[in-house]
Amino acid sequence: MKKTVLSLALVSALAFGDTNTTHDLNVTQMGNEAIQKMMQTLKDAVMGAMKEGGAKKTAEVCSNSATDIEKSVNDSFPNITVKRATLKPRNPDNQATPDEAKVIETYATTNSKELTTIKMGENHYKVYQPIYMMKMCLTCHGEDGVRDKQADTIIQAKYTNDQSNGYKEGDFRGVFVADINLSK
């Protein structure tokens, strides 16, 4: 549905010369590309760690490498910074800003899976992709009794104010945010 809407908007923009719409669509596409790269890179790291050493290895990789992975992906996009944001962070660096919190609250009530693009200012946009819990995530983010004990010990040692537990498969977790500044 969203692709159809974007396609119709692009056709309209091209037919009627609406360069702002075309510009906004390009920004959404740029944000989506950066988010997809971040999601895939993090997923590959988690899956590789899980295969290599189970939940314990996965917890070690996530707690020690996620920030480096984010930096590596962000270095490949000159005008875009991608991050994860939530109202219930494990890592305090992932605490949503006030503007991100509003979008998160909307996703939490609508259960939308669609991208959201918001113009923040001249040449500044944020593109959001919701994160929903997958079964494999419950090993470290699930309810008590579901989380792996070894992984949980590693996580609790590093993140003493962890708020990101108690989820079930399919629960809304937070968002990926592509912060795009075209003035850079």
Domain ranges of the chain: 2-181
Q: Cα–Cα distance between 75 and 52 in angstroms, integer?
A: 27
Closest C-alpha among 37, 9, 33, 35 to residue 23: 9
> Could you give the 3-state DSSP secondary structure of residue 143?
coil
pLDDT tier at 184, thresholds 50, 70, 90: confident
Ranges of beta strands (E only) in the chain are: 80-85, 116-121, 124-132, 172-181
Length of the chain: 184
**pLDDT per residue over 23-46, tens digit each?**
666 999 999 999 999 999 999 999
Mean pLDDT of the chain: 87
**pLDDT per residue over 118-150, tens digit each?**
999 999 999 999 999 999 899 999 999 999 999
pLDDT tier at 9, thresholds 50, 70, 90: very low
pLDDT recorded at residue 87: 98
- Kindly report the pTM of this predicted structure: 0.84
Whether the CB-CB separation of 99 and 89 falls below 8 Å is answered with no
Give the tokens for residue 179.
Answer: 């912060």
Q: How many CA atoms lie within 13 A of 130 on its CB side?
A: 22
